[in-house]
Structure 1
Amino acid sequence: MTKPVETRQRIVGAVLRIIGEDGVAGVTNRRIAQEAGVSLGSITYHFATQQDLLRESMLHFVADETRRFAELARQNQAGCDDLEQVVEVVCQVGRATRADADRIAPYELYLNAGRDPELRAAAADCFAAYDKLASTVLASIGVEDADQVAGAVVAMVMGLKLRALSTGSDPEDLVDGLMAIAKALTR
């Protein structure tokens, strides 16, 4: 017998996969039940509305993403000695944000956060984790005002990732662009 917490996690995982494959419009209770391997009734038992489902999915993603990026920031707290190490961190980020259905879903959820004030705090937490990693790495290579620059760098990376996801281009291309910016910032 599946525990309620396990069932909720399976449902949320299914929602994220469905959103990544077909967008928020593809999220139906029947599809979730099939994807999660749970009964149709268990979805409405755990989530009263589809908005609750989307909110919980966003919060789940944010918690995972925040932990992942906080750990990357912690690992790089000692600093990067040169741009080669920065490139390695960027590659780690690129691998952590690969272009698959699970990574497309957050963009849909971020857009949904723009429509749902209750999701904005969760989205802000996630971006704060991104900013912390960017600030840590930028400061370690001598960028002045790294905290102020971090948000712009994160926005650029997110934009480049969105471009790669929407065009099918290689996400590794963003490394070249970031290297050029990092070199310019450290001159």
Structure 2
Amino acid sequence: MTRPAETRQRIIAAVLRIIGDDGVAGVTNRRIAQEAGVSLGSVTYHFATQQDLLRESLRHFVTEETKRFGDLAARNDVKCDDLGQVVEIVGQVAEATGTDSDRIAPYELYLHAGRDPELRAAAAECFAAYDKLAETVLASIGVKDADRVASAVVGMVMGLKLRALATGSGTDDLVDGLLMIAKGALKE
């Protein structure tokens, strides 16, 4: 028998897959139940409304991303002595944020957060984790005011990643753009 926590995780994973494949509009309780392999009653038992589903799905993604990027920042803290190491980290991040439907879903949820104030706190939490990673890497290579530069770097990364998702292009522009910003920030 499946434990409630496992059922809940299966539902959330199904929601993220559905959003990645068909957007928020594709999320229905019946489809979630089918995708997650649970009963329709399980979906409504664990999540009273679709907004609850969306919030918890974004929060789950945020928790996983925060952990993943926090771990990445911790592994590379004080190890980034030059731009070559930054390129390696950027490559890891770019590779880890592929173009599959699981990576498209957060962008859909971030856009939805613009319409749903209750999702904004979860989105802000995720962006704070991105900012922290960027700040850690930038500071480790000697960028002055890394905390101020970090959000601009994150914005550029998100924009270029969205561009790559939309066009099917690779992550070369992302790496090149980050190197350009980092080199410029080091000259200050």
Query: Structure 2-normalised TM-score?
Result: 0.96
Specify the alignment match of 1:78 in structure 2: 78
Question: More deviation in 117-126 or 4-13?
Answer: 117-126
Q: Which residue of 1 aligns with 2:52?
A: 52
**2:38 equivalent to 1:38:** yes
Determine the C-alpha separation between the residues in 2 that align with 1:177 and 1:152.
11
Tell me the amino acid that sits aligned with residue 28 of structure 1. T
With 154-163 and 135-144 compared, the bigger mean Cα shift is at: 135-144
Give the structure 2 partner of residue 18 of structure 1: 18
Contact 2:55 2:122 in 1 (8 A): no
Deviations 1:35-64 (A, max 9, x none): 101111111111111111111101100000
Deviation at 1:30, TM superposition (A): 1.4
Count of aligned residue pairs for this structure pair: 187
Deviating above 3 A after TM superposition, structure 1's stretches of 4 or more consecutive aligned residues are: none
The superposition leaves residues 99-148 of structure 1 with CA deviations (integer Å, 9 ceiling, x where unpaired) of 11000000011111112222211111111110111011111111110000
Per the TM alignment, residue 172 of structure 1 is displaced from its structure 2 partner at its CA by: 3.4
Following TM superposition, by how much is the alpha carbon of 1:17 offset from its aligned partner in structure 2, in angstroms?
Answer: 0.3
RMSD: 1.0
Which whole-Å CA distance do the structure 1 matches of 2:9 and 2:161 have between them? 27
SS in 2 for 1:115: coil
Give the TM-score taking structure 1 as reference length: 0.96
What is the rounded CA distance, in whole Å, between the counterparts of 1:130 and 1:41 in structure 2? 36
Q: Which amino acid in structure 2 is aligned with residue 60 of structure 1?
A: H
Q: C-alpha deviations, 1:7-45, integer Å up to 9, x for none?
A: 000000000000000000011111111110111111111
Matches for 1:57-136 after TM superposition, within 5 Å:
57-136=57-136
Structure 2 residue 181 is matched with structure 1 residue 181? yes
Taking the aligned partners of 2:156 and 2:57, their CA distance within structure 1 comes to: 25
CA distance in 2, matches of 1:29, 1:142: 50
CA contact (8 A) 2:47 2:53 kept: yes
**Bigger shift: 164-173 or 14-23?**
164-173
Partner of 1:146: 146
Could you tell me the percent identity over the aligned residues?
Answer: 77
Q: Determine helix, strand or coil for the equivalent of 1:186.
A: helix
Unaligned ranges ≥5, structure 2:
none
What displacement does 1:184 show? 2.1
